[in-house]
Amino acid sequence: MRDLPQSRDLLGLARELLLGELLPLLPPERARDAHLIATTMAIAAREAAGGEGWQEEITGLLNEFYGESGSLHRLATDLRNGAFETSPSRAAAARAILWRLTIEKLREGNPHFLATNGFLAGDKDG
């Protein structure tokens, strides 16, 4: 339904224009801002490409963890209150969800860091 190019390509093209044509025209003290905008666009493009898939997976893990409808909100509250500290297995399972969440966020927000630390594009566990 949408016109082409769509979001990921649009962002890519805009980024190309920014870095290739606008950046050389900027005063040097604004170059860093232009690079930050370009990086922001790259993050947004990865988020657009990734869709909701990993978030749905995390929700599935939370439902499994709680045995009923779970949420990040509930997990956050429970962690704040130390709810799993008397059960090593529950604590380990909660940390596994946190780990997965962190990896998925880094995959969109900072894939270079993952690559540098030995995570491949499709890795779930490192």
Sites of contact with other proteins (CB under 8 A)? 28-29, 32-33, 35-37, 39-40, 42-43, 71-73, 75-77, 79-80, 82, 85, 94-95, 97-98, 101-102, 109-110, 112-113, 116-117
- Please provide residue 27's backbone torsions phi and psi, each rounded to the nearest 5 degrees: -65, 150
Buried b (16+ CB within 10 A) or exposed e, 37-52: bbeebbeebbeeeeee
Q: What is the smallest separation between the CB atom of 24 and other proteins, expressed in angstroms?
A: 17
For other proteins, give the closer residue by CB, 2 or 112: 112
Q: What is the smallest separation between the CB atom of 29 and other proteins, expressed in angstroms?
A: 5
Q: What is the smallest separation between the CB atom of 1 and other proteins, expressed in angstroms?
A: 29
For other proteins, give the closer residue by CB, 3 or 68: 68
Separation of alpha carbons 8 and 45, rounded Å: 5
Pair of tokens at residue 93: 């399972």
For other proteins, give the closer residue by CB, 7 or 55: 55
Q: What is the smallest separation between the CB atom of 13 and other proteins, expressed in angstroms?
A: 19
For other proteins, give the closer residue by CB, 10 or 44: 44
Separation of alpha carbons 23 and 2, rounded Å: 30
Residues 6+ apart with CB under 8 A from 48: 7, 8, 11
